[in-house]
Amino acid sequence: MSLLKPGHRGCAGCCDALAGKFVLDAIGEDCIVVSPTGCLEVFTTPYPESAWGVPWIHSLFENAAAVASGVEAALKSLGKKNNTKVIAIGGDGATLDIGLQAISGAFERGHDFTYICVDNEAYMNTGIQRSGATPLYASTTTSPAGKVSFGNPLHKKNMPAIIAAHGSPYVATASIAYAPDMMKKVKKATEIKGPTYVHVHAPCCTGWKFESSKTIEVGRLAVETALWPLYEMENGVVTNVRKLKNRKPVEEYLKMQGRFKHLFTMEGGLEEIKKIQAIADWNVKHFGLE
Amino acid sequence: MRKSMVVVEGSYAVAHAVKVCKPNVISAYPITPQTHIVEDLAQFAADGEMNCEYMNVESEFSAISALIGASAAGARTYSSTTSQGLALMHEALFNASGMRLPIVMTVVNRALSAPINIWNDQQDSISQRDTGWIQLYAEDVQEAADMTPQLYKLAENEDILLPAMSCMDGFILSHVYEPVILLEQSLTDEFLPAYNPEFVLDPKNPMSFGAFADPSTYTEFRYKQEKAMGVALGKIEEIANEFKDIYGRYYGGLIDGYVLDDAEIVIMAMGSVIGTIKDTIDVLRSEGESVGLLKVRSFRPFPRDAIRAALKNAKVVITLDKNISIGKNEGALCTEVKACLYNTDTRVPVIGFMLGHGGRDIPISMIKKLINKAKLVEKGIFVESEYADLREDLA
Amino acid sequence: MKLVIKTATKPGSTRANKTGAWRSFMPVFDHKLCSKCGICAIYCPEGIVFKLENGYFEPDYEYCKGCGICANECPKKAIKMVLEGK
């Protein structure tokens, strides 16, 4: 049985539950997990229950990296570090927005820990508000599409590049739709000494508005359209990319999701999709995906 | 044998006291006037005098957050901050106490912005009174140093498990050079047992910490914090006495009196102004005035019963507050002393004075002026709480 | 229930919460079509699709929320989602 136990209150088809399961199963029992506030934290730990089969702590929304660095420092000071892995698993809001400063500090200090961002591209726990990870033109409750708006007007923040700029020895992107690849990267990240980072793309059926059975299919399409490139960076240099054989147009990804529905119904929407296609094209060129 | 005193800066005495308590993790961010404490600790670490992880973090928020993680992992932890830094920690202060993590922190009291001001008052720690942290206020450098092991012993008591602030007035105590006895390692080892919490983050016993509590359990978690404060109320005196037995020094437990028993006018205050008040009282007593001092050492837990008993025979009480609850026109000590007397037979007028804000000096002449106001009350002339040291040309 | 201060809770104790009651559609596994690849188990968000001794897979219906990912991902279309009976 997985180290993330059933009975948790994640939605049917939950991406966070899958990500949590993959992370724990990749690392095993000898770890300590820190979670900031978010869906994964809330649905796994309603007092007096916990879904976690490993030691776990939640403190606040914006401080998971600082808490994790304190855990690591304590283990070192008490002579208990040995092979125990210290892991933070945070959502995109906790990572790209409110927790960014604490993450920057922890990576600068060089603690031996791994930060995993489970990116479902909005604040799902509070009801699908936009975050710094929300992609261009996604409709969220605080960036809704409307008569004069195509939804979120801003581009997704490039968090892996920010972490890489801190001199992290290992930064990788992953997707819950590619479980073996994700687990391999998580394991590798924890085995490399120093602060390492894995950014996991995680489609949320509730927030993105697709059927619960399509969680993996949507995630796969993000990769196949080049909107979510899978790559590894070691010491700031891209060392590995997942190549695409038959790249699909972004429409195939967008049309599956209610959050992009307006692009297909509003006047001028199809024209705007070209801007999203341009993002995919840039990824292909920048990372050499083809 | 008389112990040898050395003349050191207040910050050094405190840093040295922290060192002999052997914390496992120190995490801090520099802010005036706390800087000398953390600089001295950093030097101890750099000189290999401490077996401790010293973390230079990027903000006070991360300083306290890192200690939350470290304490949950079983470490004895320390930080120090002041003013804006303490305010920045606000959210995490609640979290540390709610998770029952016995972090000890020296708060070097300083005014809050705006206008920005680096000098002493106590608005910073008073504003955190509801965060669930124990708060003791030191009168002088020796007490500030001695409070450190006392607070570890208190905070780590298994029936308490609450974080604790040692509050010392910025510059007045942190930057003053005065003769102190540096805490002996051997005595501290005897006084302060090792920290061995029942539950820690441990892969061999994988407990979860920081669950969310719904309406069916949240109230009882808060109630248990209040109960733990109640336990602390009894332990503060006990630990102060244990400290006295080992080190030979005593500053009072929850409160302390100075020529209090027969005093008609009682002055109440916290922190370094106590010294000035004692000097004033010495002068007035020699002139035949019936004036005494009630020093409040513990603000959280608030020593309600001890204060009630101490004020039984007072004719007038005046409180000195280096803080104000804006909109109440009172400082916190005034409000709380009044409140604790209300359901008793003691019907003594309590007059609050706000003064010494933003580092404004409190001279003996000022204390005398306030005592004269108290005498008006004795004559039946009512005096409302007010700012005592306003500059008329600016007000 | 005794409150544990520090808000500490025991590992894996959500198992007390049987989420199978959430389900509207039930996955039915057809072993005749199954190639034993295990993709259904990998992508179950509850972690409750288990390998049987004979190598085939079955979900634990006490916890299965009926999301349908297993059925959607099965390369052999060996899992059907069936409306729960009353």
CB atoms A41 and B62 under 8 Å: no
CA distances to A47, A58, B163, B243 from B221, in Å? 11, 16, 15, 31
Q: B237 vs chain C: nearest CA distance in angstroms?
A: 24
Q: Does B348 touch chain A (CB under 8 A)?
A: no
pLDDT at A140: 98
CB atoms C3 and B98 under 8 Å: no
Pairing of strands A149-150, A145-146: antiparallel
Taking contacts as CB-CB distances below 8 angstroms, the residues of chain A near B72 are 57, 67, 71
CB atoms C9 and B207 under 8 Å: yes
- A100 burial class (0-12, 13-18, 19+ CB within 10 angstroms)? middle
Q: Dihedrals φ, ψ of B132, to 5°?
A: 85, 15
Per-residue pLDDT of A4-18, as tens digits, reads 999 999 999 999 999
- Of C23, C18, C30, C32, nearest to C66 (Cα)? C23
- Of B207, B224, B228, which is closest to C8 when you measure between CB atoms? B207
Beta bridge partners of B106: B80, B166
pLDDT at C6: 67
Mean pLDDT of chain B: 96
Cα–Cα distance measured from residue A98 to residue A110, given in angstroms and rounded to the nearest whole number: 20
B292: pLDDT strictly greater than 90: yes
Q: A93 vs chain C: nearest CA distance in angstroms?
A: 22
Question: Who has greater pLDDT, B378 or A137?
Answer: A137
CB atoms C19 and A18 under 8 Å: no
Residues 11-70 in C contacting B (C-alpha not used; CB under 8 Å): 11
pLDDT at B1: 44
Taking contacts as CB-CB distances below 8 angstroms, the residues of chain B near C5 are 100, 161, 221, 224, 228
Cα–Cα distance measured from residue C46 to residue C63, given in angstroms and rounded to the nearest whole number: 7
Q: Is pTM beyond 0.95 here?
A: yes
CB atoms B209 and C7 under 8 Å: yes
Question: What share of chain C in percent tops pLDDT 70?
Answer: 95
- Of B208, B210, B217, which is closest to C3 when you measure between CB atoms? B217
Q: How confident is the model at residue A1 (pLDDT cuts 50, 70, 90)?
A: confident
Answer whether A82's CB lies under 8 Å from A32's CB. Answer: no
A 10 A CB-CB count for C15 gives: 17
Taking contacts as CB-CB distances below 8 angstroms, the residues of chain B near C3 are 217, 220-221, 224
C86: pLDDT strictly greater than 60: no
Q: B62 vs chain C: nearest CA distance in angstroms?
A: 20
**Which residue type is seen at B133?**
W
- B3 burial class (0-12, 13-18, 19+ CB within 10 angstroms)? exposed
CB atoms C60 and A6 under 8 Å: yes
Mean pLDDT of A27-42: 98
For chain C, the residues whose C-beta falls within 8 A of a C-beta of chain A are 1, 4, 7, 9-19, 22-23, 42-43, 45-48, 50, 60, 63, 65-69, 71-73, 81
- Of B60, B73, B71, nearest to B106 (Cα)? B60
pLDDT at A26: 98
Per-residue pLDDT of A197-210, as tens digits, reads 999 999 999 999 99
Cα angle, residue A104 at apex, residues A99 and A107 outer, rounded to 5°: 120
Taking contacts as CB-CB distances below 8 angstroms, the residues of chain B near A56 are 201, 206-209
Query: Which of A39, A60, A85, A108 to mutate: most B Cβ within 10 Å?
Result: A60
Taking contacts as CB-CB distances below 8 angstroms, the residues of chain B near A78 are 24, 73-75
C58: pLDDT strictly greater than 80: yes
Per-residue pLDDT of B116-172, as tens digits, reads 999 999 999 999 999 999 999 999 999 999 999 999 999 999 999 999 999 999 999
Per-residue pLDDT of B330-351, as tens digits, reads 999 999 999 999 999 999 999 9
Mean pLDDT of A76-85: 96
Per-residue pLDDT of B16-44, as tens digits, reads 999 999 999 999 999 999 999 999 999 99
Q: C65 vs chain B: nearest CA distance in angstroms?
A: 23
Residues 220-249 in B contacting C (C-alpha not used; CB under 8 Å): 220-221, 224, 228
- Of B51, B55, B213, which is closest to A73 when you measure between CB atoms? B55
**Which residue type is seen at A184?**
K
Cα angle, residue B20 at apex, residues B17 and B25 outer, rounded to 5°: 95
Mean pLDDT of chain C: 94
Q: Dihedrals φ, ψ of A56, to 5°?
A: -145, 145
A 10 A CB-CB count for A207 gives: 26
- B375 burial class (0-12, 13-18, 19+ CB within 10 angstroms)? middle
Name the closest residue on chain C to residue A47, using Cα atoms: C9
Name the closest residue on chain C to residue A46, using Cα atoms: C14
- The residue assigned the tokens 């602390």 is B232
Q: Does B201 touch chain A (CB under 8 A)?
A: yes
